[in-house]
Amino acid sequence: MFSVRQKREIADAVQKILRDTQHPELPKGEIAFSLHVDGAAAWSWADIRNNGAVTQPGVNPHNERMDSANKDIASHMDYYTNSHNTIRIPLKSDSV
C-alpha cells in the first residue's frame, strides 16, 4: 500500500511518537514495533516495522509508482519482478 520511502517515513514518525512518551519501559535504542494498516479495499494493506528491523525491504512496483515522490524516477525505469525481489533497470533510451 505504501512505497518503501513512505514506510520508512511512517516508521520514523511512529518511532518519534513512541520516544516522546518517555515511557520508562521503552528500550534506550531503537524501539521495535509492528504496525498493520488496512486500506479501503480488502486487498489493500501494509505492514510497517521499525526501520532497524527491515534490512532489505520488499519493493512492490505498483506501490512505488503510486508514490508521487517517485513519479519522475518511475517514468525512467523498467521493472523486473520475480518471487523474491524487484529490480529497477534503467531503460536503454534514458540517460538516468
Q: Tens of pLDDT along 76-95?
A: 444 444 445 444 444 444 44
Task: Look at residue 14 in the predicted model and tell me its pLDDT.
Answer: 96
Q: 8-64 pLDDT, tens per residue?
A: 999 999 999 999 999 999 999 999 999 999 999 999 999 999 999 988 888 888 888
Q: What is the mean pLDDT of residues 67-73?
A: 69
The three cell numbers of residue 13 are: 514518525
Give the count of alpha carbons within 13 A of 18, CB side only. 18
- pTM (predicted TM-score): 0.69
Can you give the residue ranges of every domain in the chain?
A: 1-55, 58-96
**CA dist 69 to 30, 63, 66, Å?**
27, 11, 9
pLDDT at 7 over 70: yes
Task: Look at residue 86 in the predicted model and tell me its pLDDT.
Answer: 47
71: pLDDT confidence band, cut at 50, 70 and 90? low
